[in-house]
Amino acid sequence: MIDLAIGRILHVLGVVLWIGGVAMVTTVLLPAMRRLKTPQERIEFFETIEHGFALQARVTTFVTGASGLYLIHRLDLWDRFAHIEYWWMHAMVLVWALFMLILFVLEPLFLHRWFIERARLDPESTFAMVSRLHWTLLAISLLTVAGAVAGSHGFLLHG
């Protein structure tokens, strides 16, 4: 039973740090960047913060997924994926997979370089696009967290 407690602790802490980080970037960092005077200042500020945050985002996203998989396996929750009332289980996997794709594949392969190049050429539209993307990811993440909390406490959608 201690393993389940540790799994849940790691899962919840991972979600708090991961989605909390997304919220911090979306609601504080990106708006603060708009107040910087030059595009070069914005890029340098973003690079400084993003560099420090990237490792934390990767670690917490990985820990969240690994602990979630462990809990699904240990509690034998696989059948939940066959029932629509557990939509939040599907949403958790999809949100996690999307962030894993962004953090571990797209960002290292080309997204980081593309952002820097595009921000130098057209900073206003680039930062607006990044902001819209972050707000979308945050909204989907928060909906998923709300659904997971409600669902895991017995509030299920029934057809």
Q: What is the mean pLDDT of each run of 10 residues along the chain (159 residues)?
A: 95 97 93 84 83 91 98 97 94 98 95 90 89 96 96 78
User: What is the per-residue burial (b if ≥16 Cβ within 10 Å, else e) of 13-22?
Assistant: ebbebbbebb
pLDDT of residue 140: 98
31: exposed, middle or buried (C-beta count within 10 Å: 0-12, 13-18, 19+)?
exposed
Determine if the pTM surpasses 0.95. no
Query: CA-to-CA distance for 106 and 39, rounded, in angstroms?
Result: 24
User: How confident is the model at residue 159, as a pLDDT?
Assistant: 52
CA 72 to chain CA centroid, nearest Å: 20
What pLDDT score does 33 carry? 86
Q: What pLDDT, on a 0 to 100 scale, did the predictor assign at position 154?
A: 85
Please tell me whether residue 114 adopts helix, strand or coil conformation: helix
CB 80 within 8 A of CB 89: yes
